[in-house]
Structure 1
Amino acid sequence: MSEPTPIAPAAAIDAEPGSIHALVLHQLDEDQAQDVVSIPLAGKSSIADHMVIASGRSTRQVAAMAGKIAERLKKEGHGNARIEGLPAADWVLIDAGDVVVHLFRPEVRSFYNLERMWGFGDEGSATSMAGHA
């Protein structure tokens, strides 16, 4: 499996304008998510076309980012995303159909290390907004 690769800020990503993937990345950029990584799953898994993983500085920021993504998806006509983990907001999962989003507090993210579980190392070919704060 290929490794995650750095990506440009959301506005410059080669995602189809108006797509759920582009919308999610743009919203995470606006919400100042940290260490955003997008893993392409098309052809590798039937669960989604993309998995996006990002960190928030606190449970409050993680919960706010999840709420804004869900609100934006609904507003843009992509329906209601399913959200799990909001009460604790250590790890929030958003199922938006073609895109699955995992939002973590940094400590929880490093513990579960989803990037490695999906076969991606610390450097490599999922897309990461490295250096983006």
Structure 2
Amino acid sequence: MSATATEPTSDQILERVISSLEDDKAEEIVTIDLRGRSSIADYMVICSGRSSRQVGAIAEKLMERLKEDFGRQCRIEGKEQGDWVLIDTADVIVHVFRPEVREFYQLEKMWMPSGAPV
């Protein structure tokens, strides 16, 4: 897929995010639909990498793929530490954690609709 003149939908970006995370062996990928619940993005994706190095690599490859496929420049925070990297694509917010850090912050519990299994 190459960059096009039309702006990608949030669903297209989400699909590419998920495939990139799966390609890079991210673990426990969770998608949270934020539409109608938050103005920050349409979706939030949370996943884990096994080490700080893998967390950084997952985030870096995701940014490269979104730029290549959609011409989308993303903002990134936390890559230097590798414990928790946040990638803001504007439509999809992606959190890549080391497992211990993910367990500590438990973002899924904060953002999942009440009654949804975590």
In structure 2, distance between residues paired with 1:119 and 1:28: 20
* 3-state SS in 2 of match to 1:53: strand
> For 1:65 and 1:97, how far apart are their aligned partners in 2?
18
* Distance in 2, Cα, partners of 1:46 & 1:85: 22
The whole-number CA distance in structure 2 between the counterparts of 1:99 and 1:78 is 15
Aligned to 1:59: 52
The count of corresponding residues between Structure 1 and Structure 2 is 109
Between structures 1 and 2, the one with greater helix share: 2
- Measure the CA separation in 2 of the matches of 1:90 and 1:20: 24
Shift of residue 117 of structure 1? 1.5
C-alpha contact 2:32 2:112 (8 A) present in aligned 1: no
Matched, 1:19 2:4: no
Q: Residue by residue, what CA displacement relative to the aligned partner does 1:50-107 show, whole Å, maximum 9, x if unpaired? A: 0000000000000000000000000012421000001001000000011000000000
Gapped regions of structure 2 (runs ≥ 5): 1-8
Higher mean C-alpha displacement, 92-101 vs 114-123: 114-123
1:118 shift after superposition: 1.5
Q: Give the 5 Å matches for 1:120-131.
A: 124=117
Alignment correspondent of 1:110: 103
Alignment gaps of 5+ in structure 1: 1-15, 126-133
Which residue matches 1:38? 31
RMSD over aligned CA atoms reads 2.0
The ranges of structure 1 where at least 4 consecutive aligned residues each deviate by more than 6 angstroms after the TM superposition are none
Contact preservation (8 Å) 1:115, 1:121: no
Q: How high is the sequence identity, in percent, across the aligned residues?
A: 52
What is the distance in 2 between the residues matched to 1:92 and 1:36? 14
